[in-house]
Structure 1
Amino acid sequence: MDQHLLVFVTVVENGNFSRAAEKLHMTQPAVSQYIQLLERSYGAKLLDRSNKYVRLNKAGEIVYYHAKEILGLYSKMQDLIDDLSNLASGQLSIGASYTFGEYVLPHFVAKLQEQYPLIKPSITIGNTKEIAELVLRNQLDVGIIEGDFKNTQLSIDAFAEDRMFVVASSHHRLAQRDNEAEISELEKERWIVREIGSGTREAVEKVFHSMSISPNDIMEFGSTQLIKESVESGLGITLLSHLTIRKEISMGLLKVVQVKGTPFKRKFSIVLRTSFKTKALEVFINLLKEKYLIDDHIKMEGN
């Protein structure tokens, strides 16, 4: 592994030389020397320094972006070599979009650890676009995303189906009716939705298109939990996965609004950058597919 790049990335991510030195088990002068040699080799300053902090300049941003990708490839190469021992072990960096990452993945990883304690998983949560980008840059071994994301540089394999419902506060007038809500009624409601780039937002846009509606009152929040809290308080209605609302439905805090054509369905997909898989990654993907892929039909547990 390129020690100069490792030191540089550590300095950037820790914000100063002393914390980076502590993390790397090096002296601060040694860290400074590595940075100076790296800057000399590129013929450019990479960091703006003060007594309290270091910050990336334009050249530093370029080096940092590519250094993360290079270090990721080094790590992946080492894992593949270690796999020659045929043991499912080592680091496994997993990324997931919010719905799967926050409501499904933790339970699955716990079971993975029971069967393969030598695998050391780390989890990154982001929206679909963010997770795909991290996989593309080799900063994640695997991503799990929602919706119909497409990228020719990535392998995208659907493995499960999610069901989505229109949801309102249990006290909302639409939630208290036994009959289906009219499309015209839904269009007049305030919709609380996720940000552009998230799989849930993509699903909402598709639902609007399928209903031929364009609500004027839309509030955009970057957190599913915040959306649920806001809907529960009566601020508006939303579209969410059944995975995210089971607790609130059971407690009577939220209620599904009856809408023709529901539940709306979307796919969860596994995203990879390369066909080379470590034993740990292979085990993870196989277990995931075994859990959710049934009789060659894509179904989500609980259907």
Structure 2
Amino acid sequence: MKKNLKYFLKNKLSNKYLEYVPSSFDIVGDIMIFSEFPEQLRKYEKLIGKTILDNYHNVKVVLKKTKKYSGKYRTPGLKVIAGEKRKETICKENDVFLKLDVEKVYFSSRMGNERNRIVNMVKPKETVLIMFSGCAPYPLVIAKNTKSKEIYGIEINPVAHKYALENIKKNKLEKRVKLFLGDVEKVLPKINKKFNRIAMPLPKGGENYLNLALKHIKSKGIIHFYDFLHEDEFYKAEDKIKKACNKAKKRYKIIRTVRCGQYSPGFYRVCADFKAI
């Protein structure tokens, strides 16, 4: 994919329309997804889709987003503009295979490097909890690439949970990964366990669950709190952590705050790693 899409379309679209051709897209398995597809190109979407299939040979389906992430499960609306009439695929990330429907399951391929960052921090024999575990990318990547003892995942979306169970079997990691379906606020108290490490990869609103995470983290355990913030307001992540820790009467220490993906111009997904003392 060294040559960009505009190169392949330069003899098919006028300069007027070439300007609108998106330069950014996501690849999940054999599916290409355009988050932004300008209205000006709507009458050319089939031409653009066919050009992609002719030149990007690993791509079998081309989708464009028709609705932003929304609803209880934070899933998008997607339309097939070229290729096979499906939205299910299998992708490989950090030595694990993940099967999912990209319209029915929240998943960001751009978080692959962030998941690998977490992997590199997990120590042998740790017990790890992934709140909002989706189709299980975090649990599987951690189980496959670390010597952790156990990884727990909790997911409210039944479709994502179904794929997660299938993915555990596909990757032969049933013995170390335990998955639960339901609202994390109801499921986690029933598990009645404390963890060395908790990751909270919720797209938005994770601060509402910090108090719950603090109840289930071991002393000196690490929590990875995710948020979407403007580049001038990264300090707000620590403010939210401070507020939750004060309410729970817990001491804490911020280890680092990192960018792990751009959400929109000037806005980023950030992760604040902190230790509960």
User: Smaller-chain TM-score range?
Assistant: under 0.3
The structure whose residues are more often helix, as a share, is: 1
- TM-score for the superposition, normalised by structure 1: 0.26
Structure whose CA Rg is larger: 1
Which structure would you say has the larger RCO, counting Cα contacts within 8 Å and 6 or more residues apart?
Answer: 1
The structure whose residues are more often strand, as a share, is: 2
